[in-house]
Amino acid sequence: MTQTDVAKLMETHQSVISDFELMGGSPKIQIIQRYARAVGYRVLLELAPTTPVAQDTKATTS
């Protein structure tokens, strides 16, 4: 699939696709999702801590 093909599916210009594929700028998640759909993929977003999360050490009392 060419950049022109993807651009047509996304209703945008080929230059926008070229910039996106070259990692130009910081695209919004909506653009990433549209691109993924156009090329037959879906976006999965996962957040994971880079360091262990500290446990809450406060004792609970009733």
Question: How many beta carbons lie within 10 A of that of residue 35, not counting itself?
Answer: 21
CA distances from 11 to 16, 25, 54 (A): 10, 19, 46
Q: Identify the pLDDT of residue 28.
A: 84
> pLDDT tens digit string along 5-30?
999 999 999 998 998 889 877 888 98
pLDDT, greater one: 28 or 62: 28
Residue 37 predicted with pLDDT over 80: yes
